[in-house]
A = this chain, B = another copy of it.
Amino acid sequence: MQGGDGVVVGLGGGGEEEQVVNPWEVSAKDGGKIDYDKLIEKFGCQRLDDSLIRRVERLTSRTPHVFLRRGVFFAHRDFNEILDVYEKGEKFYLYTGRGPSSEALHLGHLIPFMFTKYLQDAFKVPLVIQLTDDEKCMWKNLSVEESQRLARENAKDIIACGFDVTRTFIFSDFDYVGGAFYKNMVKVAKCVTFNKVVGIFGFTPEDHIGKISFPPVQAVPSFPSSFPHLFAGKDNLRCLIPCAIDQDPYFRMTRDVAPRLGYQKPALIESSFFPALQGENGKMSASDPNSAIYVTDTAKDIKTKINKYAFSGGQDSIENHRKYGANLEVDIPIKYLGFFLEDDDELEHIRKEYGSGRMLTGEVKKRLIEVLTELVERHRKARAAVTDEMVDAFMAVRPLPYMFA
C-alpha cells in the first residue's frame, strides 16, 4: 500500500494525455487537476452522496467526520451494504494499510488513518492494518531489514493516531505472510492472468516478478479467512477498506476474484488526493521536503513552508485582491483548512471573507499555521508516547477478545 501519498507526478507514463491514477502514478491531463467525476466513471465506483452520509450520522449517532462532510472521502463501492449489515446489528471489519517507504510521514499519509480511527470509534469494529514492507523492499529496492525497520517506525505514527489496541491488529507482510494468508494469496493468484495485471496496474514484461506477484498480497487482507486468529469461523464477515482512490485497482481485482473463491467482496470508501503545497498540479515528493508538511516539522518549519510555498489564490496586489477576491478553487491554504479546520462555521466564514477579498492571504495562512502546528504538535506528543512494547502489543498475532463485544 502507498495510499494517501497524494503523489501527483507531472505527466509521463500516460502517453495519450489521459489522466493516470494507479498505486504508483497519479497524473492529471495536461498537468492540471484530477477529474474525480471521470475517475468514478472510469473505475466504476459510486459517488458517496449526502443520503449515505446522513445514514452514517443516523446509525452512529455522531456528527460525520470532517472528511465525510467535506467530500475528502468522496467515492465508494458497496458502502451501503456495509451499513445494511451494521443496521441489522452485525459486525464488519476495517482494513487499511501503508507502504512504509519513508521515515517521516506527511499530512497526506495521516488522512486514511485519521478517518479509519473515526470509523473504528463510530462503528466499534475490528481493524487490520497491513504494512507492506515486502512491497517497499521490491519497489524502492530497500533491504529487507530496512523495510522492516521503516514498518515499525511507521507503526508508531499509526498507533499515535489513537487506535484501540483491543480492536486493532497491525502486521508487516514480512512477519505475517504464511499459513492461511499465503493460501489465500495462491487462491487469488490462480484467478488473475499476467495480461490482467498489465491492464489493471500497467506492469510491463521488463518488470520483475516480485511486482507481478504482489497484488495478491494486498488483496487477501480483504478476506477474513486470512486472519484465522481474529475471525475464525466468521468467514462471511464483510470488510470495509478506507483508502485513497489510487489503491482502487488492487480492490477492483480483489472484488473481481472474490466470488470465484466463494468470498464476500470487500467494500471500499475512497478519498481524493491531498494536494502538494505548490498546488493541486504540483508534486508532493519525498525528494522535495518543501512540497509537504511532515509530522516531524517544527513550528518554525511549518510557518516557513506555509508562508513561502503554499500556493495562494489571492490576487497579485492588495488593490486587485480587494476588488476581485481570492480564487478559492486553486488556493492551497483554503484547501488545507478544508481538511483540518474542524469548525464548519469558521471555515465558511474564512471562505466568504477571503473569496470576497476582505481577508488577505497572510491572514488565512496565519490561521492555517495555527491549525497545522497544533495538529503536528499533538501528533508529535502522541508518537513520543508510543513505546516499543505498545508496537509489540498491536503487532502480536493474537485473538482480540473484545473484538466482537
Contacts and interface: CB of A to CB of B under 8 A. Distances in A.
Interface of A: 134, 137-138, 141, 144, 173-179, 182-183, 186-187, 189-198, 203-210, 212-213, 215-216
A193 B208 contact: yes
B197 A209 contact: yes
Contacts of A210: 186, 189-190, 192
Contact of A215 (B134, B194, B207, B209): B209
Lowest 7 A-B CB distances belong to which pairs?
Answer: A178-B178, A189-B210, A213-B213, A194-B205, A190-B210, A195-B205, A177-B182
A179 B182 CA distance: 11
A194 B210 CA distance: 9
Nearest to A198: B205
Contacts of A186: 134, 137-138, 144, 174, 210
A310 to B, nearest CB: 38
Nearest to A190: B210
A393 B212 CA distance: 36
A207 B193 contact: yes
Nearest to A173: B182
B209 A192 contact: yes
The DSSP consensus for interface residues of chain A is helix
A271 B52 CA distance: 66
Nearest to A176: B178
Number of copies: 2
B174 A183 contact: yes
A175 B186 CA distance: 13
B178 A194 contact: no
Which of A190, A193, A194, A216 has the most C-beta atoms of chain B within 10 angstroms of its own C-beta? A194
Contacts of A193: 205-209
A194 B190 contact: no
A213 B209 contact: yes
Contacts of A216: 209, 213
Which of A137, A177, A192 has the most C-beta atoms of chain B within 10 angstroms of its own C-beta? A177
A92 to B, nearest CB: 25
A134 B216 CA distance: 14
A178 B189 contact: no
A203 B215 CA distance: 19
Contacts of A137: 186, 190
A364 B210 CA distance: 53
A150 B127 CA distance: 36
A192 B212 CA distance: 11
B174 A177 contact: no
A189 B213 contact: yes
Contacts of A183: 144, 174
Given A174-B183, A194-B212, A189 B138 contact: yes
Contacts of A197: 209
A130 to B, nearest CB: 14
A361 to B, nearest CB: 47
20 contacts: A138-B186, A138-B190, A141-B190, A144-B183, A175-B179, A177-B178, A177-B182, A178-B178, A186-B210, A189-B209, A189-B210, A193-B206, A194-B194, A194-B203, A195-B205, A195-B206, A197-B209, A198-B205, A209-B215, A209-B216
A196 to B, nearest CB: 8
Contacts of A196: 209
